Amino acid sequence: MKIIIVGAGEVGYNIASRLASENKRVVVIDKDIDAIQRLSENLDVQVIMASGSSPKVLIDAGINETDILLAVTDSDETNLVTCLMANMISPTTKKLARIRNQDFDSYYDRFKKENPHIDTIINPEIEVVNTIRKLMVVPGAVDVGDFADGQVKYIGLRIDRHSPMAGMKLIDFSSKFGEDRPLIAAIIRNNEVIVPRGSNKIEPGDLIYFVSETEKLEKMLMLFGKKIIPIQRALIIGGGRIGERLANLLEADSIKTKIIEADIARCHYLSEKMEKTIILHGDGSDQKLFLEENVGQSDVVVCVTNVDETNILVSLLAKNLGIENTITRISKSNYFPLLATIGIEKVVSPRLSAVSSILKEVRKGKVLSDISILGERGEFIEAIALETSDITDRPLRKISFPKGAILVCILRDGHIMIPAGNSVVKPNDRIIMFAVKHAVKKLEKLLTVKLDFF
Amino acid sequence: MRWRFIARIIGILLIFLGLSMIAPLLVSFYYKDLAHNNFLRSMGITMVTGLILIIGSKKRGSDDYINKKEGMATVALAWIGIGLFGALPFYFGPEFINFTDAFFESVSGFTTTGSSVMTNIEGATKSIVFWRSFIQWLGGMGIIVLSLAILPFLGVGGIQLYKAEVPSPVPDKLTPRLTDSAKILWAVYAVFTLVEIIFLLGGGMPLFEASCHAFTTMPTGGFSPKNASIAHYNSAYFDYVIVVFMILAGINFSLHYQMLRGKTLAFWKDTECKFFLGLALLLTLLVTWDIYGSVYTSIKDSFRFASFQVISILTTTGFATADYETFPGLSQALLFVCMFIGASAGSTGGGMKCARIIVCFKYCYRELFKIIHPRSINHVKINNIVIPNEILRSVMGFLALYISLFILAGILLASMGIDMMTAFGAIAACIGNIGPGFGSVGPTENFSHMPVMGKWLLAWCMLLGRLEIYTVIILFVPEFWKK
């Protein structure tokens, strides 16, 4: 199994690191000497310092015997040309490209069917923007994501003192809520991930992850004492690609949106593109601007500049002005453990999201999705139960689940089923599991689903 | 300034003008109105002058590049020349007593203004009546545009001439090649004219009158072969046919082209077009409401006369079916405002143009918005396209010049002993290329009683309006003449 990665930025680095640790032969191509050096010092991969879109470089890198090409540079054009050249030289190589410019959105299908036959196009920004949009409306929600093409959602939620759940044991859920009881996948308390058993109690201040059918989500949130809040005014700090996409989305939902962007040229660009969104030129951390623009009146503040520190600072500033609902973009995963302690809860990470969607596409077989939460400390795994695996055709109580892993729910014929001791997983059911990091390997073994590749 | 070059282009245009006199000549022969000698003499003088200019300015080298300055001077001088030589047939005819009157009528024709000094049009020779209409038709889409369409002689410099003759606040070139664009514009223009002739014939108008009216509707000119203009026929059918074609003439011709190519939604997607049509409808309804009961007893008549006057003035055509000076104050005020707004950019109409009004309002809104959000960055957009700052400046400058020149010329005219209403009404009508004004130059009167100096001033205003201020006014800026 040989993989070429063009582009050694954050995304390229992280994928290379994951794949290398799984003993794949990885070649990374990048023009930037610093990026290449960081890679060759830390990872067991081959590096080439050159332009990945050059056919000569691709041949030298061994494109002809390569199974997968990942084009993940920062430039859409480079990624497209790289795939185009790869397609000419070695049509059998699977190609995956990161394309971010919105103008390409409607051409994804044609990129697939026509030249350069890109098998998968990854645009983490679309995903992140959708996540932000969902996070906006659920107060206290820390994380939101989809399974089964959006039929099922997982939500991370902070439990406060007023929640009817606070103080309850999980075992009491069925008597209190009946059939529609929430499916708790994980409890995070004092930065520790607990995979819940019946005897576990929910306490105020806990962060819980639960799973729900999308249709029943609103009802489920009511159980937690949360309501979907309508957003009327939004403030976006940072008018980069994510900010732009989000503003477009909000504009379409006729939400009054303002963008604060520090780069004047970018401001002009945005102002040319946007219809109703108000573009403000200034630093996101400029308090005077905040007062001038009555930021305290906003329903939500979304900080999506390229700088983590600015995002964190502005979020805190907004909270200081009385806006509880802030969403913060974070790229560095080592910040994650700190954030909860300073009160920043709603966090999105396009990098993580890119890495996990690329890995999902790269992984072969029956694992449908593999979503890291809380900066990779736990993983949701959505898989198809194989006939050959130990998990099928036996009541669950007879299966020894690894410690730190839990079967969250079973999806059969589009319906969500709550697993109990005597439930049986049938072949071809979709199952959603949660595991803390160290339990993932054991879980894979149980499923006999190797996290294999094309 | 390369005078040889400019002289050569004007020479060619004069030859062209001379050739166009063949049309009234044929009319003259057909009706045997004995005016053919006048046209032959005019043709002779015009073409000989043209030839002298061409021969006298024999091209040296291959400098067919014109800069913007030269382009503007060429166009302004060419229009003055065309006005002068186009006046010859009038001057030689028995209807005009002096050259001032002939020049006034000629410039009013070419600039599609439609103000007249003729008191008895029905008594004039057919060929002269035809020439009046025909020069409006030539001037409507632009003589230089026409020559670009049929003569490839202007070469690279053509674009400068084109821009000077058809200044547009929002630049749009229909095709990559200027000659092709010019051909398209003239083709659309000619087709609409033909269709209008057919509609008018269908209503029973004689061919001669139908052609004359179509020749002056499409360029939004307003000359009529009848003393009482369209009111002569007192027919709702003719009124509405002409209303429809006036509206068509007042819409940007590139939209017509897009529609003819199958993009039927082009009208509804264009901000300016929507603004123009909406404004026409709103003003029609307001005037209908205002004159219903006070002037007309039926709502049907009120709407018919209101729509005709509003659209005639808004598109700057200047036909009349009613004396709007008998309308109540509100209607008169609205019609006066119409004179300034004018039709769409890229149409044959005059006035300030809807596009500039929209840009102006959006610009003002942006300034107010800036006060509320001092650090906001925003652009003025039309059809979702950003209007660059240079164009914004040029539009605001245009509006300021338009108003100041209106005031200045109005005061000058009033100083010649003309009452205020008439003076400002006449200037508004001439600078906006409309035709009838207010006071003693209203729709039932004409301009024959204006003093000689007043007529030259008004003719100058017509040229200013037709070439959209800058092209003409630049000749009066001392800096322009410095080497």
Mutate which of A251, A259, A272, A274 to test chain B, going by most B C-beta atoms within 10 A? A272
- Put simply, the answer to whether A293 touches B379 (Cβ < 8 Å) is no
Strand partners, A156: A143, A209
- Reported as a single tens digit per residue, the pLDDT across B223-260 is 999 988 899 999 999 999 999 999 999 998 888 888 88
Both tokens of B310, joined, read: 């509003």
Cβ–Cβ contact A386 with B under 8 A = no
| Residue of B377, B383, B389 to mutate, interface with A, max A Cβ within 10 Å | B377
Closest Cα partner for B160 from B280, B84, B229, B74? B74
Distance, CA of B86 to CA of B13 (rounded, Å): 12
Q: Is the model's pLDDT at B310 over the cut of 50?
A: yes
Lowest mean pLDDT among A150-159, A407-416, B147-156: B147-156
Residue B22: band (very low, low, confident or very high) from pLDDT cuts 50, 70, 90: very high
Query: What confidence score (pLDDT) does residue B62 get?
Result: 54
For residue A283, the chain B residues in CB contact (below 8 A) are: none
Give which of B317, B69, B299 is closest to B215, Cα–Cα: B317
Relative to beta strand A415-417, strand A152-158 is: unpaired
Core vs surface per residue A161-173: b (16+ CB within 10 A) or e: eebebbebebeeb
Sign of CA dihedral B323, B357, B460, B38: negative
Report the complex ipTM: 0.71
Flag if B376 and A275 touch (Cβ within 8 Å).
no
- Chain B contact present for A289, CB below 8 A: yes
Does the structure show a pLDDT above 70 at A365? no
Mean pLDDT of chain A: 83
B312 DSSP 8-state letter = H
* pLDDT number for residue A454: 43
**A236 CB within 8 Å of a chain B CB:** no
Residues A280, B375: C-beta atoms closer than 8 Å: yes
| Position A318 confidence tier, pLDDT thresholds 50, 70, 90 | confident
**Residue whose C-alpha is closest to residue B36's, from B134, B97, B127:** B127
Selected residues 317-376 of chain B with any CB under 8 Å from a CB in chain A: 373-376
Residue whose token pair is 């509006």: B399
* Å between A248 CA and nearest CA of chain B: 15
Is residue A167 within 8 A of residue A203, CB to CB? The reply is yes
C-alpha distances out from residue B293 to B47, B284, B297, B299, B335, Å: 56, 15, 5, 8, 19
Cα distance between residue B429 and residue B423, in whole Å: 10
Residue A292 CB partners (closer than 8 Å, separation 6+): B373, B374, B375
What digits encode the pLDDT tens for the residues A383-435? Answer: 887 777 777 777 877 777 788 888 888 888 777 777 777 788 888 788 888 88
Q: Does A214 touch chain B (CB under 8 A)?
A: no
The pLDDT of B82-99, averaged and rounded, is 90
pLDDT more than 70, % of chain A: 95
**Domains located in chain A, CATH noted:** 2-122 (3.40.50.720), 138-223 (3.30.70.1450), 233-352 (3.40.50.720)
* A215 vs A222: CA distance, rounded Å: 13
Q: How far apart are CA B365 and CA B395, in angstroms?
A: 15
Give the closest of A271, A292, A293 to B378, CB-based: A271
Q: Which helix (H) or strand (E) holds B381?
A: strand B381-382
Nearest by CB: A280 against B376, B379, B386: B376
Range B365-383 average pLDDT = 89
- For chain B, the helix, strand and coil percentages under 3-state DSSP, each to the nearest 5: 70, 0, 30
pLDDT, residue B432, reads 93
- Please give the DSSP secondary-structure letter assigned to residue B388: P
Mean pLDDT of B155-161: 66
More confident residue, A65 or A355: A65
A276 touches B: beta carbon within 8 Å: no
The strand order across the sheet containing A367-373 reads A367-373, A378-384, A430-436, A405-412, A415-417
Q: Do B374 and A272 touch (CB under 8 A)?
A: no
Q: How far apart are CA B259 and CA B23, in angstroms?
A: 31
Measured in angstroms, the CA of B133 and the nearest CA of chain A are apart by: 45
Alpha-carbon gap, residue A85 to A136, rounded angstroms: 41
- Tens digit of each residue's pLDDT (9 = 90 or more) over B400-441: 999 999 999 999 999 999 999 999 999 999 999 998 999 899
DSSP helix/strand/coil, B216: helix
Q: What is the mean pLDDT of residues A165-182?
A: 76
B386 touching chain A per CB within 8 A: yes
Mean pLDDT across the stretch B74-84? 91
Under DSSP, the state recorded for B292 is B
